Amino acid sequence: MSENPRFWAVVPAAGVGARMKAAVPKQYLPLAGRTVIEQTLARLGVHPRIDGIVVALGAEDGYWEGLDFRCERRLERVDGGAERCHSVLNALARLAAFADAADWVLVHDAARPCLRGEDVNRLIERLADHPVGGLLAVPVRDTMKRADAAGEVVRTEERIGLWHALTPQMFRLGVLREALAGALAAGQLVTDEASAMEWAGHRPLLVEGHADNLKITRPEDLALAEFYLRAQHTTDG
């Protein structure tokens, strides 16, 4: 492996965000003076350890070219796929053309615009010497209920040891690419990169982050994300 691996970001952004019930994909909704995806890319683009970003967009995306966005890092665009895992795999293929297989890749949701630089620092520091890699996460604090198809409670789950998975999720380029390709070949539509690594027999490390790294999924999340962004700006300032 390279003694001085580089760090790259991959941002899957090919989804339409149906649960937002908006006229445009959620990553292009306005948020604190920018679009959601611009806020997200800005957080990644200013981080001193990240060398470049690959964004996976829908093949019919008609919004990206209209953005007036400037990135301090190398920024590449690639077509996404039917599911997140396909989009990430496409982005990794593009990245492999100019990055080393031993480089680290941080896969981050386009709809998580409140990522803190300190959480990226913690992720990199904790995983730099880890044999597998891992992901930001927060411990589950609420009581967790298991439901049946009718929505009735089957049982209460023990929350000790349960975590909410966040992003970025950070793994070596070559190993992650193999894990995702293997999972898809086996018919496994994994919902995140850690799941692909788990499927391949690896044990990713959970690195505690901040709960304000929320994923915008529903209309009310936009107001909450703007609140978090303003609060972070006040704290940073």
In a domain, 45, yes or no: yes
pLDDT given at position 60 = 87
pLDDT given at position 205 = 98
Q: How many CB atoms lie within 10 A of CB 41?
A: 27
pLDDT given at position 73 = 87
Q: Which of 44, 53, 13 is nearest to 29 (CA)?
A: 13
Question: Whole-angstrom Cα distance, residue 36 to residue 40?
Answer: 6
Based on C-alpha coordinates, what's the Rg of the chain? 18
pLDDT given at position 233 = 80
pTM for the full predicted model: 0.94
In a domain, 224, yes or no: yes
pLDDT given at position 70 = 83
**Which run of H or E residues covers position 222?**
helix 219-236
Q: How far is CA 184 from the centre of its chain?
A: 19
- Total domains, the chain: 1
Question: Whole-angstrom Cα distance, residue 76 to residue 98?
Answer: 11
Q: How far is CA 20 from the centre of its chain?
A: 18
Backbone φ and ψ of 88, nearest 5° = -65, -40
pLDDT given at position 236 = 63
In a domain, 88, yes or no: yes
pLDDT given at position 235 = 67
113-126 burial by CB neighbour count: b if 16+ within 10 A, else e? bbbbeebbebbbeb
Q: Is the dihedral of CA 190, 38, 127, 97 positive or negative?
A: positive
Taking 50 as the pLDDT cut, the residues of the chain under it are none
In a domain, 133, yes or no: no
Amino acid sitting at position 152: E
pLDDT given at position 234 = 73
Q: What is the DSSP string of 198-209?
A: HHTT--PEEEE-
What is the per-residue pLDDT across 21-42, written as a single tens digit (0 to 9) for each? 677 899 999 999 999 999 999 9
In a domain, 17, yes or no: yes
In a domain, 150, yes or no: no
pLDDT given at position 58 = 93
Question: Whole-angstrom Cα distance, residue 181 to residue 184?
Answer: 5
CB 205, CB 126: distance < 8 Å: yes
120-198-106 Cα angle (round to 5)? 20
CB 106, CB 170: distance < 8 Å: yes
Give me the torsion for CA of 126, 52, 111, 222, rounded to 10°. Answer: 100
pLDDT given at position 90 = 97
- Residues spanned by the domain of 180: 7-117+168-202+212-236
pLDDT given at position 24 = 87
What is the per-residue pLDDT across 105-138, written as a single tens digit (0 to 9) for each? 999 999 999 999 999 999 999 999 999 999 999 9
User: What CATH number is given to the structural domain containing 72?
Assistant: 3.90.550.10
In a domain, 124, yes or no: no
